[in-house]
Structure 1
Amino acid sequence: MTAKSLISRQDYPAFVALVSMVLWFGNGMVLEGQVPFFRDLGMFFYPMRYSLAESLKAGDIPLWDRRMAMGFPLLANFQSGSFYPPHILLLVLRFFDAIRVLYVFHYLVAATGSYTLCRRWKYRPYLALIGALLFTLGGATVSLTNLLNHFQAAVWLPWLVFFWERSLQSKTWKSFLTFSLVLLCQFLAGSPEIYAMTLALLVLDGLRLRKEEGAIPCHTLFLHLLAANVLVAGLGMAQILPSVELLLHSRARGSVTYAGGVKWSLHPLSFMNLFFLDKEVALDTATGLQPFFSRDIPLIISLYLGVIALPGISLWLWKSSLKEKALLLGALMGSAILALGAYTPVYRFLFRTIFPFSLIRFPEKFVFVTCSLLLFVALRGLFRFFHSDSSIRPPLLILSSIWLLYMVLYLILRTHTAELAQFISAATQTSISSPLSLGKTTAVIASAERQVLLISGIVLLLLLGKKEAVNPALLKTLLVGLTFLDLYSAHRPYQYLLDPKIMEQAPRVLALPDGGRLFYIPSLTHLRPDYFVSSKSSFRDRTAAFFANLFPNTGIVHGFEYMQETDPLERWPYSTFLKAANALPPEKLYRLVGALNVRHLISRQPLTGGGVTLVREFPEYPTWVYRVDHTVPRVFVASKCVVESDPMKAIIRLSSSEFDPVREVIVERPLAIPPAKNSQAEARISLYSHRRVSILATVSGTGVLVLADSFYPGWRAYVDGQEREILRANVFFRGVVLSEGKHLVEFRYEPRAFKVGLMVSIAVLLVVTFCSLAVCLKSLKRSRQPI
């Protein structure tokens, strides 16, 4: 399709209608000022975006955040999207205004991209509208809104396919560069998994294009994609090198365990959700979601494609060639098997034998490929149905069979409610007579009724359209409207929209930060903050309790600082800490966290043992807030060094009553520091920013100044203007040796990985700019030559 045809008059009404439907779908964000709140958005993505916004508005590079995890390399976290172009909105808008605009913008990216791609495939505007709605408002895309980096990456898929095909066919520098820049944009959105799946889909699309249109050698296809990825890697090196450095210092430097890797695998029963609503949003429950046939909430909370998808897929199976079936059905089966993860022996074999699979967490993500291919197949089937001159009998038989399938299913459920209730009771492990089981039984029947009504309307419209028994304009309007109604009613609640005041203005268990760090205790034997239990009965109240309890890292918007890490790429010192701390008795745990500059413990249960003092109790959550009796200051000078190279033993030593965390420091190797008796020292912070800390210190003898912030590559220490070696102190902290006297000590975050990556990115950008100018000048010169 040419650029001119993309803006033809027949596309104007369709574009207006599409944008209007997308805005209406997100009207809670557009008109009511609400934003999504579900799962990791509040504890992970919003705090990270808030820190990014702060840095941008301060005119700073978002390299480091001192409030997260005792100091965390923000930019190195790929999911932060520090270089993602749309995040410029965080600079110019208030935080939650920017979040709302970002969500709406990405919905529109998905909608306009899929419409444009369908038009390129010669689909009529009404069918392109249906395709855009199925992709943008379908279950896979809407489900990813609570996994913000995946959502931001996934919406670029249609545009990438569009520019990929145009680049392969035109073979010009301009088309190749455009494709590469859009690919870079998706890469910087922060989801390497979606990026890798997109590359696989582009290969499949290239093979399809080669088969249908020819003139594209197979080696050209792969070299084209390789060159684009080399360009993306070069331009994105400022992001890649810091991320690789973080990976090397995280627990992922060792392989993810199989149990951890397949924690979220797609349950086989979930495939029915492609064409049937097997769960419902229940805002009157704490979890906010009620699966009908399972106790567990899946990672991708909806796979629903839309009721029109099944007729389209069935019609494709009828009209497609054998080779096309082999290629696409093979890809569908492959992606589905990967998504099943722990439910098939195939994934275990891949996990143990192919290295990249040992780094992937949650194979359920692969269902994004499955859903994308099914949408392609469904649209292709509908297109061929309306543009085929074959007899009405085969499609009549197919569509009637689909309608009959839904009707028979509904009648079976309706007439066998007792058996249905027993199945639900067994699947959810609840009593068959409980209100929950009875409510789910009723909801399943209501869902079946809904699908019967919708499929009846779709089948009737398809058959009337095929026989040309209805006005074409009316038919198209009804098909698009019914598709939108189906997806709107099914998926609008899955956005989990709430007023952001629930995070900004919620009453908190601690009103103001007091200089120490917070430590959240779900359980004394499970200290990783990866779940939250509340007595609140509704989703809104539970979410409010989540923020009121200052769950990591929700409090950074109010200035609170945290010891615990919530990032999947948690660094190895914290992983070691968890292994040791989970086995410690309470008194030793309190000494340990006190030695790590933790001032308050926020516990979901009353704490026993000495070493902590109850500050306040909140029975409505319930929550208990304790103050640690002995907490080291943020900066101090230790006069005695203890050598311990084993991190686990060092952490155990920190918890010992024989260890003095203010006068002693644990280092990895012996230091030439003479013992000092009655040594006096004073240290205070004069400047404390994210990337720079200035300390005024006075010592009467040689000692080690300890800053209770994370030790991490890229930090440099300067004592009176002279660079000094930074020591790893107490496993986590930064230390530097000081001689007797007064000193000005500066810690500066100057990461070499970022500097090298930035220089590579700038160099590649200059080369690309030079090549683009050269191509433009050559083209201009050629256009001026006489014919």
Structure 2
Amino acid sequence: MRKYTFATALLVFFLATLLFFIRLFTPEMSLFITPDFGQSDLMQLNYPAKYSLLQALQNKSLPLWNGAIGTGFPQLAEGQIGVFNIVNLVLYSVFSFEWAINIGYVAIFFIALVGTYTYLRYIGISAIAGLIGAFIFAYSGIFITQISHINLIHASSYIPWVFLCTHAYIRTRKLVLIPVTSLVISQQFFAGFPQISFITLCGAAMLYLFLSSNRKSISTYLAPAAILLLFMGLSAVQLLPSREFLEVSTRKDGFLFAEAARFSYPWKHLITFLQPNALGSAKHGTYPPFHAFDGSIYWENTGYIGILPLLFAAFILVKKRSNVVVRVYALLLFVSLLLMTGKHSPLYFIFTFPPFNYFRVPSRYIHLFVWSLTILSSLGIHQFIAMQKSTKHGRLLIFAMIMVILYQLFTFGWNYNATRTAAAVLAPPPITEYVPHKNRYYVHDDGLKWNDHFITKGWVDTEPYIEMRNILRPNANLLHNASSFQAYPILLTRRFELLNALVESNITTNKKSDTFDINTTALKILQMSNVDTLVSAYKNESLQQLGSVKGASSTYYAYRIENVLPRAYFVYNYKVVKSVDEFTRTILDSQFNFATTVLLEKPLSQIITSDADAKQSVDFVTNAHTRITLTTNTVSTAILVLSDLYYPGWKAYVDNKETAIFAANLSQRAIVVPKGSKKN
């Protein structure tokens, strides 16, 4: 009988989830476009990342590196692309982009529903209570308001499965559960949001320690170590490149406390568990911007599960406070509350220590808080149903309870996110007509025009966000076959961050006149970086205007940058610079020219003969993301400069013999090429 109950639950979950997302499939294929403050994580990070994944998988390769963003970017190592997750591997290998994205949402919610239901049934909760509990978790605010962060909710959908495996091992001590648990954790990690994996492990560790506290055998301590070791082995294919990236990134040593504790959950935000828009609605533009609200972000702080589940959680805490499961989840609820409140919490100091200081946004511990609330409320619903079954109006009360819970969850969930047709979202914005595909482009955008609409009007009207695609912020260019100097600033190498900061700090905006100025430092860096186009929503008088696109709220301009160096070129002179300040001083010298001199960080052992006027050539044979082949010809030994990002994973060969790659011009690459015709 139990297997039929489970099959019925699966059918209910599938139909309910399909119904919830049906608007993405009919009458036209549509996509979510819910924006964020200052930009869109969905349209500028997650959609481009998934599109890159689809392109790679359907070409029988892996997205190790993407040369079209950030002058080169280690896409796999960064992790959010979610390469090795089995759901992603299947969907993006088989389906078209729109279908893969939308089926992915259905899969994520289905995984969360089934996992929660299975766990609730495992700890003794009835089928009806388990069914409702599954909807409480999967359709809570932590999923609904984070739909624009696909990899985050994908990782969160595995929380029930990690807890199920952990709890099952505690009860049964079956050795087979050790590799199974490691496999589940690795799949969560592969979903592409390591912080959620870390938060889940913190919660699972607390569950394990609490429920195993009366067991003193050595296996009690060896099992978690074995699970972690197996997880590291299974995840090495992602962990190793990510570690390599971390070592050269801006987060090598973690964040300072001020940044690690930024975006902590404010205590007053607890009122939104009763009414999600009690402090304002992000959708309607009435929620305060984070800089005016002590770092509070609506979608990071909203864990709404409805009012009745809160009452049932309180009920079970009073009714069954001696129950071991109630006690452990009450403890988890309390600890996760202290963690998510971050700098406002007595535990604030924990965010100064690794690994806690490797992540920002303490508010995300709300995922563990909502999970604990889900378990407690489900236990309360289970107890309530048991009490009402024998009463005269029990069935009516149970039915009314179910309807109220589902109504509150689904009305909030259905109305929150914005959608547009896939054709409108994915169509090349008109500005791309002026952005060449051969060289790179740069975006000057302070986000203020986006925020002027976002903060005051939200996303009830989505047309401005379709229009503002014309700014072509990275990584949206990946959808439109363009190459950007910049990359979406989640995690960058220290070298590129320094170079990009030099450009940004040397472009100034005059908001009164709606214009911008660009000085020599910024121009020289863009020229040496093979950037021949600048896109902005502000006017400039010094650069040649290639064209403009007039929108309802703003005009978008494309400008030509002259005297741009090719992506690969020879120089016969070099200068050693050992600091960013020295780099800046050097390029400010009016006599300095990147076309003839490269800036290196250490002297070369080879003698370079100055022969800049001699005949030379550099031609691309292969120009793929992970492989570049050049044929060169020079009459004397020369330095070949490639304006792509310097990164430890690359190797260089001249006529099939490995040669050293030097860091050049702060973040570029250079090799020494002997005279003659060579293949590099």
Give the TM-score normalised by structure 2: 0.89
Instruction: Go from structure 1 to structure 2 and tell me whether the alpha carbon gap of 1:571 and 1:532 turns closer, same or farther (over 3 Å shift).
Output: farther
State how far apart, in whole Å, the 1-side matches of 2:621 and 2:258 are: 47
Deviations 1:96-124 (A, max 9, x none): 21111111011101111111112222222
The answer to whether structure 1 residue 521 and structure 2 residue 456 are counterparts is no
Instruction: Go from structure 1 to structure 2 and tell me whether the alpha carbon gap of 1:293 and 1:684 turns closer, same or farther (over 3 Å shift).
Output: closer
Matched with 1:74 is 75
Matched with 1:303 is 303
Instruction: Go from structure 1 to structure 2 and tell me whether the alpha carbon gap of 1:221 and 1:602 turns closer, same or farther (over 3 Å shift).
Output: farther
Deviation at 1:289, TM superposition (A): 4.8
Deviations 1:605-651 (A, max 9, x none): 2235x4x2122233422322211112111111112112112244325
Deviations 1:585-616 (A, max 9, x none): 622212221111111111232235x4x21222
Instruction: Go from structure 1 to structure 2 and tell me whether the alpha carbon gap of 1:677 and 1:663 turns closer, same or farther (over 3 Å shift).
Output: closer
- The SS at the match of 2:557 is strand
Matched with 2:600 is 667
The answer to whether structure 1 residue 98 and structure 2 residue 94 are counterparts is no
Stretch deviating more after TM superposition (230-239 or 541-550): 541-550
- Which of 179, 193, 207 is residue 205 of structure 1 equivalent to? 207
Instruction: Go from structure 1 to structure 2 and tell me whether the alpha carbon gap of 1:666 and 1:355 turns closer, same or farther (over 3 Å shift).
Output: same
Matched with 2:430 is 508
Deviation at 1:207, TM superposition (A): 4.8
- Which of 8, 16, 36 is residue 13 of structure 1 equivalent to? 8
- Which of 130, 142, 151 is residue 140 of structure 1 equivalent to? 142
What amino acid is the match of 2:547? Answer: R
Matched with 1:644 is 577
What amino acid is the match of 1:587? Answer: N
1:464-503 pair list within 5 angstroms? 465=388, 468-470=391-393, 472=395, 475-503=397-425
State how far apart, in whole Å, the 1-side matches of 2:299 and 2:590 are: 44
1:531-550 pair list within 5 angstroms? 532-533=450-451, 539-550=461-472
- Which of 475, 479, 500 is residue 553 of structure 1 equivalent to? 475
- The SS at the match of 2:534 is strand
Deviation at 1:715, TM superposition (A): 1.2
State how far apart, in whole Å, the 2-side matches of 1:692 and 1:647 are: 30
Asked if the contact 1:299–1:364 (Cα under 8 Å) also holds between the matched residues in 2, the reply is no
Deviation at 1:161, TM superposition (A): 1.9
Instruction: Go from structure 1 to structure 2 and tell me whether the alpha carbon gap of 1:249 and 1:292 turns closer, same or farther (over 3 Å shift).
Output: closer
Asked if the contact 1:613–1:626 (Cα under 8 Å) also holds between the matched residues in 2, the reply is yes
1:2-41 pair list within 5 angstroms? 6-7=2-3, 9-32=4-27, 33-38=29-34, 39=36, 40-41=41-42
The percent of aligned pairs where both chains have the same amino acid is 22
- The SS at the match of 1:277 is coil
Matched with 1:684 is 619
Asked if the contact 2:269–2:279 (Cα under 8 Å) also holds between the matched residues in 1, the reply is no
Matched with 2:239 is 240
Instruction: Go from structure 1 to structure 2 and tell me whether the alpha carbon gap of 1:253 and 1:175 turns closer, same or farther (over 3 Å shift).
Output: closer
1:363-762 pair list within 5 angstroms? 363-387=362-386, 465=388, 468-470=391-393, 472=395, 475-511=397-433, 513-523=436-446, 532-533=450-451, 539-584=461-506, 586-588=518-520, 589-608=522-541, 610=542, 612-620=543-551, 621-654=554-587, 656-671=589-604, 672-676=607-611, 678-745=613-680
State how far apart, in whole Å, the 2-side matches of 1:321 and 1:54 are: 53
Asked if the contact 1:665–1:729 (Cα under 8 Å) also holds between the matched residues in 2, the reply is yes
- The SS at the match of 2:641 is strand
Matched with 2:312 is 312
Matched with 1:340 is 341
What amino acid is the match of 1:369? Answer: L
- The SS at the match of 1:614 is strand
State how far apart, in whole Å, the 2-side matches of 1:292 and 1:572 are: 32
Deviations 1:445-485 (A, max 9, x none): xxxxxxxxxxxxxxxxxxxx36612263x554443333222
Gaps of 5+ in 1: 389-464, 524-528, 746-787
Deviation at 1:153, TM superposition (A): 0.9
Deviation at 1:554, TM superposition (A): 0.3
State how far apart, in whole Å, the 1-side matches of 2:99 and 2:93 are: 11
Instruction: Output the aligned Cα RMSD.
Output: 2.7
Deviation at 1:677, TM superposition (A): 5.6
Instruction: Go from structure 1 to structure 2 and tell me whether the alpha carbon gap of 1:531 and 1:163 turns closer, same or farther (over 3 Å shift).
Output: farther
State how far apart, in whole Å, the 2-side matches of 1:534 and 1:681 are: 52
What amino acid is the match of 1:335? Answer: S
What amino acid is the match of 1:148? Answer: I
- The SS at the match of 1:625 is strand
State how far apart, in whole Å, the 2-side matches of 1:601 and 1:198 are: 43
Instruction: Go from structure 1 to structure 2 and tell me whether the alpha carbon gap of 1:80 and 1:481 turns closer, same or farther (over 3 Å shift).
Output: same
What amino acid is the match of 1:178? Answer: V
Instruction: Go from structure 1 to structure 2 and tell me whether the alpha carbon gap of 1:299 and 1:248 turns closer, same or farther (over 3 Å shift).
Output: farther
Asked if the contact 1:65–1:71 (Cα under 8 Å) also holds between the matched residues in 2, the reply is yes
The answer to whether structure 1 residue 262 and structure 2 residue 281 are counterparts is no
Deviation at 1:323, TM superposition (A): 7.9
Deviation at 1:532, TM superposition (A): 4.1
- The SS at the match of 1:144 is coil
The structure richer in helix per residue is 1
State how far apart, in whole Å, the 1-side matches of 2:402 and 2:501 are: 55
Deviation at 1:217, TM superposition (A): 4.6
Matched with 1:358 is 357
State how far apart, in whole Å, the 2-side matches of 1:280 and 1:321 are: 32
Matched with 2:121 is 119
Give the TM-score normalised by structure 1: 0.77
- The SS at the match of 1:146 is coil
- The SS at the match of 1:82 is coil
Matched with 2:45 is 44
Matched with 1:403 is none
Instruction: Go from structure 1 to structure 2 and tell me whether the alpha carbon gap of 1:578 and 1:532 turns closer, same or farther (over 3 Å shift).
Output: farther
Matched with 2:510 is none
Deviations 1:658-704 (A, max 9, x none): 22122221111122213336333221212100111111212122211
Gaps of 5+ in 2: 508-517
Deviation at 1:378, TM superposition (A): 1.4
Deviations 1:255-279 (A, max 9, x none): 3233333332212221111122326
Asked if the contact 2:170–2:212 (Cα under 8 Å) also holds between the matched residues in 1, the reply is no
State how far apart, in whole Å, the 1-side matches of 2:329 and 2:405 are: 24
Instruction: Go from structure 1 to structure 2 and tell me whether the alpha carbon gap of 1:743 and 1:624 turns closer, same or farther (over 3 Å shift).
Output: same
Instruction: Go from structure 1 to structure 2 and tell me whether the alpha carbon gap of 1:725 and 1:10 turns closer, same or farther (over 3 Å shift).
Output: closer
- The SS at the match of 2:76 is coil
State how far apart, in whole Å, the 2-side matches of 1:633 and 1:655 are: 21
What amino acid is the match of 1:516? Answer: N
Matched with 1:108 is 110
State how far apart, in whole Å, the 2-side matches of 1:301 and 1:732 are: 37
